Amino acid sequence: SVLADKGIQVHMWTRNEQQMNEINTKHSNQRYLPDITLSPLITAFTDMKEALHEVEAVIIVAPSSAIREVSKQLKPYWHEDMLVVHATKGFETESMKRISTVISEELGCSEGHIVVLSGPSHAEEVVKKCPTTVVVASLEEAQARRAQDLFMNTYFRVYTNRDLVGVELAGALKNIIALGAGMSDGLGFGDNAKAALLTRGLAEITRIGVEMGANPLTFSGLAGIGDLVVTATSQHSRNWRAGSLLGQGKPLQEVLNSMGMVVEGIRTTKAARAISKKYGVQMPIATQIYHVLFEDMDTKTAVEALMGRDKKNEMEMMSQETYEQWHT
C-alpha cells in the first residue's frame, strides 16, 4: 500500500489462490486487513515467475520459518540489479543465522546487497496511513538509500542506517520482551513491571547485540526502543497478545491455535537461548521466558527468579572489552 500510494505497480506473491482472487477482484484482504480497500495498483499472483516479471525491487516478508524456502524459490528470477529488502523479524532457529544471511546464501549474493526494513510499523496502522517511521539498514549504504527512496512517502518516513546486524537483532529480539510484557499484563501486574521489563529487556538486547557486532546506538533508535515500545504495548501486537494469554495461565498450544498469525517471539526465544550460550552473554529475561515456553515453568515462578537474581550494577550492559571498544 505504501508503494501503490506513490503510483508504483505492486505485484504480491501468495500461495493462496483464494487470497489472490480476493485481492485482484475485490481489492480486499478481509482475513488480515478487514474493512480496508486496497489500491488497484496491487495485483496478486500465485506464480512467482509471473509475480517477478520485470520487477525492480523485491520485498520479502515471509515468517522467519519460511525465509530459506521462499528465498530458494526466488533465486531463478533474481538478478544483480534487483533491490532486495526484507522485513522479517526473527532468526533461522536451527542455524541461529540472521535473515539477511539466509537470503544472501540462497540468492548467492553478498550480504551487502540485502536491506532490512524494520521499526515500529504494525500493518493495521500503516494501511490506514497513520504516520509511521522506519529504518532501512544495509552494509552497502547505496542499497539502503535505494530502499529509502522507494518507500518514503507522506505518512511513511524512512531513515537509513549502516548497522544491518544491530537492526536485524533489535527487530528479532524485541519480540521476546513483548511476550514478557504481555505475560506481566496477563498476570495483572502494573505499569512499573512493564517499564522494568522494557528497560532491562533493552539492556539485554543491547548486551548481546554489541557482542555480535552491532552498534549500541542502534538500540536507542527506531528498530530498538521504537519497536520495543510498540510491540510491548500495542493492541495490534501478536507477541504481546500471546504473552498476555500465557500470563493468564493458558497453555502455549492453545494460545498459538487462537492467534492464527505468526508469533515470531516464540521461535526467537529458542534462538536467543542458543545465542546467549554461544556468546556467553547473560539474557535473564529471555532465559526465564524460555523456561515458561519450553520447560513448563509457571509465569509467577519466572518473575520470582528475575526479582531474586544477584545484586547488580545497572551499567553492566556489556563486557569491559566491548565497552572500551565503543568508548575509546
Ligand X SMILES: O=C(CO)COP(=O)(O)O
Residue 63 touches which member of ligand X, ligand NAI, none, C-beta under 5-8 Å by kind: ligand NAI
- Inter-residue contact 92 to 64 (CB < 8 Å): yes
556468546: which residue's cell? Answer: 279
Q: Which partner, ligand NAI, ligand X, none, binds residue 180 by CB below 5 to 8 Å per kind?
A: none
Report the residue number, 78 or 132, with the smaller CB distance to ligand X: 132
Residue of 174, 194, 300, 311 with catalytic role: 174
Summarize the annotated binding site as residue ranges: 15, 32, 89, 119, 121, 123, 174, 227, 237-239, 262, 264
DSSP-assigned letters across all residues of 182-230: HHHHHTT--HHHHHHHHHHHHHHHHHHHHHTT--GGGGGSIIIIIHHHH
Measure Cα distances from 153 to 98, 129, 156, 175 in Å.
28, 10, 5, 27
Question: Which residue, among 138, 132, 133, 69, has the nearest Cα to 106 in the 3D structure?
Answer: 69
Residues that bind ligand NAI (CB under 6 A): 15, 32, 61-64, 66, 69-70, 87-90, 121-123, 261-262, 264
**Interface pick for ligand X out of 68, 113, 238, 270 (rule CB under 6 A):** 238
Q: Among positive and negative, which fits the CA dihedral 282, 283, 289, 293? A: negative
Distance between CA atoms of 54 and 57, rounded to whole angstroms?
9
Comparing CB distances to ligand NAI, the nearer of 44 and 193 is 44
Query: Could you tell which of ligand X, ligand NAI, none binds residue 239, using a CB distance below 5 to 8 A set by kind?
Result: ligand X
**Count H helices, E strands: the chain?**
15, 9
Only one of the segments 9-17, 151-159, 234-242, 288-296 lies at the binding site for ligand X (rule: CB under 6 A); that segment is: 234-242
Q: Is 278 a catalytic site residue?
A: no
Residue from 230, 245, 275, 293 touching ligand X (CB under 6 A): that is 230
Could you tell which of ligand X, ligand NAI, none binds residue 231, using a CB distance below 5 to 8 A set by kind?
A: ligand X
Minimum Å gap between C-beta 234 and ligand X is 7
Whether residue 227 contacts residue 171, with contact meaning beta carbons closer than 8 Å, is answered with: yes
121 vs 184, which CB is nearer to ligand X?
Answer: 121
User: Which of 71, 88, 231, 268: binder of ligand X (CB under 6 A)?
Assistant: 231
At residue 218, what is the residue type? T
| Residue (239 or 299) nearer to ligand X, CB | 239
3-state secondary structure at position 38? coil
The H or E element spanning position 134 is strand 132-137
Which residue numbers are catalytic? 174
Residues at the site binding ligand X, with contacts judged by CB under 6 A: 89, 120-122, 175, 178, 227, 230-231, 236-239, 264
